Structure 1
Amino acid sequence: MRFFHSGAVVVALTAALAAGCAGPGDAPADPPASSAASPMTTAPASSLEAPPTKTTPEELRALAASLMVVGVTDYDDALVKLRQGVGGIFITSWADPAILTEPGRDIAALREAVGRDFSVSIDFEGGRVQRHSSVLGEFPSPREMADTMSPQETEDLALRMGRSLRERGITIDFAPVLDVDSAGLEVVGDRSFGTEPQCAAQYAAAFARGLHAAGVKPVFKHFPGHGAASGDTHKGAAVTPPIERLSHLDLRGYGPALADSRGAGVMVGHLVVPGLSSGDVPSSIDPAVYGLLRSGAYPQGVPFGGTVYTDDLSGMRAITERLSTAEAVAQAVVAGADRALWSSGEAVGEAIDKVVAAVADGRLTEERLRASAGVL
C-alpha cells in the first residue's frame, strides 16, 4: 500500500498532537508564531575553481568509520575504538561507571586524548531502562509520567534528566520510545507512554523537548513501530501488523512527534513490516523503510532530514541470526542509516572494510557517505 503525505503544516500537526491526550492540569498550548525565512544567495562559482580532489583510501575509511557508534566498556576500550575513527561511543549497561565519574578517565578526558569531537550515547528512558542510574539518577517510567504528569511536567522532568546526562558528557539519549502499547508486549509495556498513538506522541514529544533544551539529542524509537509486533527482536525475528494497520498504530505518532520536536533523531528497529518490507528483511537493513521515514509518505507524516540510527546490530537476534555484525553494519548503511549502532563494539575494522567494499562495488556512493557524515 502506498501512502501519500498529507501536506499539513507543522502547526496543524502540533495542534492535533496536543488534542490527543490531556495530562493532569494541562491545557493545549498556543501554536508558536512562524517567522519568515531570510532569502539565501549563492555566490557564482569561479571559472578558475580547481576540480574536486579524489578521495584517498584513508579518507574513505575515515568517512565510513564516522558513521559508526559502538559500545564501550571503560576508558581504555573507548580510547581504542575512538582511535579507530568511530564517530561515537555507546555507554552500555555493563560499562564501568568510572567512565562517567573518574577525573582523568572520563568522557572529558577522552575528548582531550582524542582531540576531536565524537558523540556519547546511552539508553536512558526512565523506569526499567535507565543505565547507570546510580550515577545519573532515578526517574519514573514513561507510562508513569503519562499517568501522573502533564506534558509540561514531563518536559520539565526530561530537562532535569538531560542536564544530568549532559553533566557527565553524554550527548545523545536513545529515548523516548514512541511505540504504542497496543498488544501487551513485555518488551514495550511501561516503556511506552500509552496505548493510543496521540497520547504516546504528545508525551514523547514533550520528553524530547526537555532533552533538547538540556543539550542532549533525543532519538525516537523504534520506527516504524514495535508495539503490536509478533515478538521481541532481542529474541528473534518479529513481524508487525501489515503496513495498512500499522499506519493507524505506532506509525501514526511519528509525524506529529517529529513536527513538535527540534533536533531529534529516529532509531529504526529490526521489525519486518508486511506490505512495506522487502520480503522478510528487518527494517534496519531495508531501503524501503528508510525511504518511508525520509519521505514522510504515511498518514500525518512529515519528511525527515535528521539523523537516522539503527537499533543494536550486535545484541539482538532478529539481526544476529542472519548476519555478522560487520555485514549488518554495511547493509544498514547501504539501506539508508546515517549511524550504525552496535553494543558489543566488536569488529570495528571489519565493519569499516565492509562499508568501503560497498563503495567499491557500487552499492554505496561516496556522496551518500559524505551526506550521512554531515548529518548531526
Structure 2
Amino acid sequence: MGKRFARKVGLLGMVVGLLMATVTASAAASPSLEAMVGQMLMIGFRGTTFEAKSPLGEAITEGNLGGVVLYGRDVALNKPMRNIRSAAQLQALTADLQDHARIPLFIAVDEEGGQVSRLAPRFGFPETVTAATWGRRNDPAWTRRGARAIGQRLRNLGCTINLAPVVDLNTNPDNPAIGKLERSFGANPDTVTRQAAAFIHGLHDAGILACIKHFPGHGSAYNDSHLGLTDISTTWSPKELEPYKRLVDRGLADAVMTAHVFHAGLDPKVPATLSAEIIPDILRREIGYEGVVISDDLQMGAIRQSFSLRQTVRRCLEADVDIFLFGNNLEYEPFVWRRVQRIVRDLVDQNIVSRSRIERSYERIQRLKERMDLFQGRS
C-alpha cells in the first residue's frame, strides 16, 4: 500500500505545477469545469472494499473526485459498520481508492479522540482520550504525543487528513454536539489555542493534515445542527474567533471547517456555511485566512431542511467554500457528485457564477494536496 501510494503522490508536485500553469492559459487548455468541481467534492460511501463498477468508482474515475470521508457506523441504516472493519481491511481500501484516482485523494476521517473516534476499539484500535481530557491536563507536550500517535495510525492506514481538532470554546457545557461529548479543549481561548496547536503539531509530526472546526464557533449552541436550525445569535461571543485568529497567524490552519450555525447579527439570512458575509468578511478578510474552507456535512438537518441542493451549492460558492462535504451517512445519495457538477455547470452557463470562482477553489485545493505530497514524501 505504501509504495503504490508513494508513487502516486510522488507525481503530485509535478501534476500541481502543470495544473497551476494552465490557470493563466486559455479555457480550452484548462481542466474542464466538471473536473475542477470534482476536486471540490468530498463524499461518503457505503462499503468496506472498493469496487470500480460502483457509484464511488464512477465518482473517482469519471467525476475526478477530490476526496472521501470515512465512517465507522452507518447512521441512516442504523448499522454498526460502514467503511471500517479492521486495520488490514482499511489499508487495502485506502490503497485501492488512491490507485484509481487521477489526482491523489483527500482521505478524511473525524478522529478527534474519545467519543468522536471512527477508529474505535471495537475495530481493534486503541482507546483515545477526549479533547476535554487534554484540555484539563493542559500539557501541550502530552497532547502532542497523543495526537502524534493518532496521526501515525492514520498515516499507516492510508488516511491523509484528520477533520480535527475542534477549536470551539466550551462556553455551554450542555451543548449536545460539543460540550456533552467533551469535544472542546475548554472555555478559555488561550487553553483551546495552546491545545489545538499541540494537537496539530502532533498530526504534522506524523504527516497528516489537520482541519480546525467549526467556524465561527459552535460551542455556545443549545442544540445540534445535525438535527435542524442552530441559532447562536444570543449566545455567541467574538472571543470564539480567537483560536482561529491565532492558529491562522501561526500557519497552523491547513483547512477550516464551517459550522451550520445561524447568527442574525452576522448574517440575518443564512447559516455560516452558506454566508457570503461570515466566511468572506470574517474568515477571509478580517482573520486573513487564504486556505481551503471545507463545509460541514451539507446533508445535515440545518441545511437540507431549509435549502434545496441548488440553493446550497450556489450559496456555498458565494460564501467562498472550497470543498463541499456530503457524508452520505444521514441520508444516502451516491450520485450527489453528478448532480453538483450539473448544477455548477448550469450556474456558470447562466453567468450566475464565474469560471474563475471555480478555478480559485481548485487552485487552493491543489496547493493543499501539494502539502500532502510533501508530507508523504518524508518516508
Deviation sequence 1:185-232 (CA, Å, 0-9, x none): 121111000011221121112111211221111111100001112421
TM-superposed CA distance for 1:65, in Å, is 1.4
SS at match of 1:72: coil
Q: Quick one: structure 1 residues 326 and 56, their matched pair in 2 at CA, closer, same or farther if it must change by over 3 Å? A: farther
2:241 corresponds, among 240, 243, 251, to 251
Q: Supply the distance in 2 between the matched residues of 1:321 and 1:79 (Cα, whole angstroms).
A: 29
2:45 corresponds, among 35, 56, 72, to 72
- Of structures 1 and 2, the larger Rg is shown by 1
Cross-structure match for 2:254: 264
TM-superposed CA distance for 1:325, in Å, is 4.0
Higher mean alpha-carbon deviation, 120-129 vs 279-288, is at 279-288
User: Which of the pair is proportionally richer in helix?
Assistant: 2
Superposition pairs for residues 15-94 of structure 1, below 5 Å?
52-55=25-28, 59-74=32-47, 75-76=50-51, 78-83=56-61, 84-94=63-73
Higher mean alpha-carbon deviation, 304-313 vs 356-365, is at 356-365
Q: RMSD of the TM alignment (CA)? A: 2.4
The answer on 1:97 being equivalent to 2:84 is: yes
The answer on 1:355 being equivalent to 2:344 is: yes
TM-superposed CA distance for 1:116, in Å, is 3.2
Contact 1:176–1:204 (8 Å) recurs in 2: yes
Identity in percent: 25
TM-superposed CA distance for 1:242, in Å, is 5.4
The answer on 1:109 being equivalent to 2:82 is: no
Q: Quick one: structure 1 residues 194 and 364, their matched pair in 2 at CA, closer, same or farther if it must change by over 3 Å? A: same
TM-superposed CA distance for 1:339, in Å, is 0.4
The answer on 1:282 being equivalent to 2:271 is: yes
Cross-structure match for 1:186: 176
SS at match of 2:144: helix
Q: Supply the distance in 1 between the matched residues of 2:86 and 2:360 (Cα, whole angstroms).
A: 31
Q: Supply the distance in 2 between the matched residues of 1:308 and 1:101 (Cα, whole angstroms).
A: 32
Higher mean alpha-carbon deviation, 165-174 vs 252-261, is at 252-261
Letter in 1 for 2:272: S
Cross-structure match for 2:113: 126
1:206 corresponds, among 198, 206, 210, to 198
Contact 1:228–1:241 (8 Å) recurs in 2: no
Contact 1:100–1:169 (8 Å) recurs in 2: no
Cross-structure match for 1:328: 312
TM-score (structure 2 length as normaliser): 0.78
The answer on 1:319 being equivalent to 2:303 is: yes
2:356 corresponds, among 355, 358, 367, to 367
Count of matched residue pairs: 318
Q: Supply the distance in 2 between the matched residues of 1:289 and 1:71 (Cα, whole angstroms).
A: 27
Cross-structure match for 2:293: 308
Q: Supply the distance in 1 between the matched residues of 2:145 and 2:346 (Cα, whole angstroms).
A: 46
Contact 2:66–2:103 (8 Å) recurs in 1: no
**Is there any run of 5+ residues in structure 1 with no aligned partner, and where?**
1-50
Q: Supply the distance in 1 between the matched residues of 2:26 and 2:165 (Cα, whole angstroms).
A: 42
Contact 1:177–1:220 (8 Å) recurs in 2: yes
Contact 2:233–2:262 (8 Å) recurs in 1: no
TM-superposed CA distance for 1:131, in Å, is 0.5
